[in-house]
A = this chain, B = another copy of it.
């Protein structure tokens, strides 16, 4: 998955019927890469740091015609380069 920030939303009145009622968020990837649009599944809003699934995993059980989905809102990122031997 990819980390990114929600920077806005996209509105499209004319769309495929399966997409009606979905929220399309504009996401800025945290580590480079072009901004993209992802369907919201967790109530994310502008400014939120999010976890995004791209590709096939975004389609869900409803098999939606989408390729990116916000699947979580990030609380914390813990960086540790090595770990103590057990």
Contact = CB atoms under 8 A, between A and B. Distances in A.
Contact-residue size bin, chain A (C-beta under 8 Å from the other chain): 35 or more
Interface string A23-53: 0101001011111111001110111100101
Given A1-B24, A42-B15, A83-B46, A55 B67 contact: yes
A72 B19 contact: yes
Interface string A73-85: 1111111111100
B55 A12 contact: no
Given A1-B66, A19-B72, A68-B1, A51 B12 contact: yes
Contacts of A36: 1-2
Contact of A57 (B3, B15, B65, B73): B65
